[in-house]
Amino acid sequence: MAKKNGGLRFQPSGGTRAPQVPVGKKQKLSIERLANDGRGIAFSEGRTWFVSGALAGEQVEARVLSSRSQVVEARSERILTASPERRPEPCVHARTCGGCSVQHMPHSDQLALKQLMLEEQLTRLAQVQPEQWAAPLTGPEFGYRRRARVAVRWNPKLKQLAVGFRAAASQEIISIDDCPVLVQPLQPILRGLPEALRLLDKPQAIGHVELFNGTTSAVLVRHTAPLGDADLNVLQQFCLEHDAQLWLQGDSAPEPFIAGHGLGYALTDWSLELAYRPGDFVQVNAPVNQSMIAQALEWLAPQSDERVLDLFCGLGNFALPLARQAQEVVAVEGVQAMVERAAVNALDNSLNNVHFYHADLSESLAEKSWAKGGFAAVLLDPPRDGAYQVVKQLAELGAKRVVYVSCNPATLARDTQQLIAQGYQLKKAGILDMFPQTAHVEAMALFELAD
């Protein structure tokens, strides 16, 4: 029997599938509005276009980056009719570097965009608005970033080393002399790094380089093969010239080139200094971090006779300042190495009323020894996927007040639903401008248990 022709079986009802828009194609577009991530939205030939570097009301020529079904992602290549809100990008690399996505937008408009994003998530997902909106927590618009990862790639055919930041939506490396968002002490290090790496006998052994600044500056070199003495000497001399520590990382954890060297950052408002190692989570924006801690403590209002719980505590960024005010702080983290360093930070700062524990925060807390007795207040600062399993248990712990610090408004809104279901009320919320010149939103919310 002849096989039946099934050629039309998987065709869409409207006929043959429209061809995808080829990558690299240029298209003139009218931008109608902005998406939550700051990209412009346009509609053309039955497709929705998301265009980076564009503002509402503009006519642009955009280049296609990717296409799937009826959605096209593109980058504005030429502004044909500019919005009156557009400003010249302070960085010459803004349209190619993948680090900053909204430099063409005035800072006040960036804040408004982030505020709108938080409001929409709370309204759409949690069907709630706070009783009070807090003013945005802001810091310097530029010169704030105290940590950066520098991409390095060896081209064996050309025998050339590319050093810089990755391009937007690409693996291409953009050479950058100055980065306006970096703190000033890291600028000369970034500027001189490419020349130093090109002096190496085995530049192909360099995977990437990370820059840090806190109580001192540091350069972490991630290498994929052992480095010889000559190359180590080049790197060490470069770091000495820039008053920075050299750290190395091969197959194991990062280690300082000179034993005993250590990194740290200060929380001056609480007379604290926290030690950390490359690879530990540290907030990149020191001024906003200090303001964030101050606001969290103000909202949580820990009393001198209260027991407070700090979840996802990291190195003790919130726990140590909390210990200055509360009777006892229990701090919990899922990474054992961070727990150990946090405990050392407490000892080094002469704090004996804060206790650190390692726990899987996706599991039940009820049986944990440290949870017995309950808590008057809870502070949590989870990663992007939120803290759904944790928040379901907060009322059982007796917490009357909860401060939730979030780096993802969507999971904050989801977890807000769960807190409201337990009887909490959303009293305050506001954005934290931790990453100016980007559309990334951080937020803080205060919940109080209804009587």
Q: Is residue 230 located within the same domain as residue 334? A: no
Catalytic annotation on 239? Answer: no
Which tokens belong to 49? Answer: 């276009």
Confidence category of residue 177, pLDDT binned at 50, 70, 90: confident
Q: Is residue 313 located within the same domain as residue 443? A: yes
Range(s) of the domain holding residue 317: 110-140+285-449
Q: Is residue 250 located within the same domain as residue 310? A: no
Is residue 369 situated within a structural domain?
Answer: yes
pLDDT of residue 276: 96
Which tokens belong to 320? Answer: 């140590």
What's the total number of domains in the chain?
3
Closest CA to 356 of 368, 339, 344, 379: 339
Q: Is residue 222 located within the same domain as residue 305? A: no
**Residue 183's CATH number:** 2.40.50.1070
What is the pTM assigned to this prediction? 0.92
Query: Could you tell me how far CA 84 lies from the centroid of its own chain?
Result: 30
Is residue 104 situated within a structural domain?
Answer: no
Please compute the mean of the pLDDT values over residues 225-253 and round it to a whole number: 97
Q: Is residue 380 located within the same domain as residue 396? A: yes
Average pLDDT of the residues of the chain? 93
Confidence category of residue 167, pLDDT binned at 50, 70, 90: confident
Closest CA to 98 of 150, 170, 190: 170
Diameter of the chain measured on Cα atoms: 87
Residue 62 makes CB contacts below 8 A (sequence gap 6+) with: 26, 27, 28, 29, 42, 49, 51, 54, 74, 75, 76, 77
Q: Is residue 343 located within the same domain as residue 401? A: yes
pLDDT of residue 171: 82
**Residue 45's CATH number:** 2.40.50.140
Q: Is residue 254 located within the same domain as residue 353? A: no
Sign of the dihedral through C-alpha 71, 77, 81, 82 = positive
pLDDT in tens, 210-238: 999 999 999 999 999 999 999 999 999 99
DSSP state of 98: S
Is residue 96 situated within a structural domain?
Answer: no
pLDDT of residue 45: 87
In whole angstroms, what is the distance from residue 345 CA to residue 165 CA? 33
Sign of the dihedral through C-alpha 329, 335, 338, 340 = positive
Q: Is residue 163 located within the same domain as residue 219? A: yes
Confidence category of residue 17, pLDDT binned at 50, 70, 90: low
In whole angstroms, what is the distance from residue 177 CA to residue 156 CA? 24
Q: Is residue 195 located within the same domain as residue 337? A: no
Q: Is residue 427 located within the same domain as residue 298? A: yes
Q: Catalytic one among 100, 179, 313, 407?
A: 407
Please compute the mean of the pLDDT values over residues 353-382 and round it to a whole number: 94
Is residue 94 situated within a structural domain?
Answer: no
Residue 154 makes CB contacts below 8 A (sequence gap 6+) with: 160, 161, 162, 203, 204, 206
Whether pLDDT at 10 is above 70: no
Whether pLDDT at 8 is above 90: no
Task: Using CB atoms within 10 Å of the CB of residue 172, give its burial: 0 to 12 exposed, 13 to 18 middle, 19+ buried.
Answer: middle
Confidence category of residue 2, pLDDT binned at 50, 70, 90: very low
In whole angstroms, what is the distance from residue 312 CA to residue 64 CA? 40
Classify strands 206-213 and 173-174 as parallel, antiparallel or unpaired: unpaired
Confidence category of residue 170, pLDDT binned at 50, 70, 90: confident
Is the separation of the CB atoms in 35 and 41 below 8 Å?
yes
pLDDT of residue 5: 45
Q: Is residue 437 located within the same domain as residue 306? A: yes
Better-predicted residue by pLDDT, 17 or 277 = 277
**Residue 379's CATH number:** 3.40.50.150
Worst-scoring range by mean pLDDT, 58-67, 105-114, 139-148, 161-170? 161-170
Q: Is residue 322 located within the same domain as residue 198? A: no
Confidence category of residue 9, pLDDT binned at 50, 70, 90: very low
Is residue 1 situated within a structural domain?
Answer: no
